[in-house]
Amino acid sequence: MSSINDQLAQLQTDSLAKIEQVTTLLILEDIKTQILGKTGALTEILKGLKDLPNSEKPIIGQLANTVKTTLTTAIDSKRSYLEEEALASQLAQTTIDITLPGIAITIGKTHPITQTIDHIVSLCKQLGFSVAQGPDIETEYTNFEALNVPKNHPARDMQDTFYMKNGNVLRTHTSPAQIHAMTAQKPPIKIIVPGKVYRCDADVTHSPMFHQIEGLYVDKNVTFAHLKGTLEWLLKELFGKNQKVRFRPSYFPFTEPSTEVDVACFKCNGDGCSLCKKTGWLEILGAGMVNKNVFRHVDYDAEQFTGFAFGLGVDRIAMLKFGISDIRLLYENDIRFLKQF
């Protein structure tokens, strides 16, 4: 008995010393197998148990368990220590140097088109207009017929239309929003409708998708003077008092009389250049007094009410405001271009 007893004591002392000196997790696992594994030192010693008298077996068995627990505890605590040490050294290697310059975060800006829409909307609100919406897809009826442009009318050629397979159209202007608004509400009505419009048209001043802001004011005694005063004030606020502006007689089936407004070309200051097609002017809006035939479509009493409407070309206004000489730049999403506004 004393021999096994001694062997167990010796195993414990030697093993604790070895565990104490271990420096890596790999070696620790190796030592564990050598001591406590199926064919390890402890198992070897316990093979002698069978030769002991029965009375001594439980005492030695108990001792063996104590040794096993002591060594297992020592191995476990050494393992925790080594793991913590490995983690600490890994963290030390990956420390962030907070003195290094950071990566600059680019801050987005409002697109020049949106800036222009926001500006015009805020000016119109000062005049008492409220903001309404209309859909991008319209029926031929709302986009044309209700606006006094019957089928086969030559005025349909004024706007190169994108037709859909089901016969609907991508709205060619924001004017159908007039029909939606007047169908839903009786006069007085004073709204603006900003939105995207679509035409099969592309060059330096024409884009297949562009933006308009529709204006509509219907009440008793609304006259052309109200229209002219509104637009003159709006354009002065937008471009400054010195900007040259002209009103020209024009034709729209949905207004009578009608006008178009041009602003002196910013590129040549009115002398004539490729941007303004040698005219010295850029057309920015169409307008007029609402045609009585339109009132008939929405069941408004044309004897009692009059109204004016206008359609501003937002992209052209943005080009003038920011000095952009090609409308397509607005849609290329080149960050170097957009950063400038």
289 lines the binding site for ligand FA5 (CB under 6 A): no
Provide the mask over 56-95, with x wherever binding to ligand FA5 is found by CB under 6 A and - wherever it is not. Answer: ----------------------------------------
Report the b/e string of 313-324 with b at 16+ CB within 10 A: bbbbbbbbbeeb
Nearer to ligand FA5, 78 or 295 (CB): 295
Among 189, 193, 264, 309, indicate the residue that binds ligand FA5 (CB under 6 A).
309
> Pairing state of beta strands 209-219 and 189-198?
antiparallel
Find the binding residues for ligand FA5 in span 151-170 (CB under 6 A): 159
Question: Taking a C-beta distance cutoff of 8 angstroms, is the pair 155, 286 a contact?
Answer: no
134 lines the binding site for ligand FA5 (CB under 6 A): no
Residue 91 backbone zone (phi > 0: left; psi -120 to 50: alpha; other: beta): alpha
Least distance CB 222 / ligand FA5 (angstroms): 13
Nearer to ligand FA5, 235 or 309 (CB): 309
CA–CA dist 300, 206 (Å, integer): 35
Question: Taking a C-beta distance cutoff of 8 angstroms, is the pair 117, 194 a contact?
Answer: yes
CA–CA dist 168, 173 (Å, integer): 14
SS3 label, residue 323: coil
210 lines the binding site for ligand FA5 (CB under 6 A): yes
253 lines the binding site for ligand FA5 (CB under 6 A): no
- Torsion 79-85-90-94 (CA) sign: positive
Q: Which stretch binds ligand FA5 (CB under 6 A): 17-25, 219-227, 273-281, 304-312?
A: 304-312
287 lines the binding site for ligand FA5 (CB under 6 A): yes
Q: Which stretch binds ligand FA5 (CB under 6 A): 91-99, 225-233, 241-249, 278-286?
A: 278-286
Question: Taking a C-beta distance cutoff of 8 angstroms, is the pair 309, 192 a contact?
Answer: no
Find the binding residues for ligand FA5 in span 165-204 (CB under 6 A): 173, 175, 199, 201
* Helix, strand, coil fractions of the chain, as percent rounded to 5: 45, 20, 35
Nearer to ligand FA5, 68 or 277 (CB): 277
Least distance CB 94 / ligand FA5 (angstroms): 55
Least distance CB 308 / ligand FA5 (angstroms): 8
End-to-end CA distance of the chain: 95
252 lines the binding site for ligand FA5 (CB under 6 A): yes
Q: Name the H helices within 127-170.
A: 140-143
CA–CA dist 220, 312 (Å, integer): 24
Least distance CB 240 / ligand FA5 (angstroms): 19
Give me the residue whose beta carbon is nearest to ligand FA5: 313
Residues in contact with ligand FA5 by CB under 6 A are: 159, 173, 175, 199, 201, 206-207, 210, 212, 252, 255, 258, 283-288, 309-311, 313, 315-316, 327
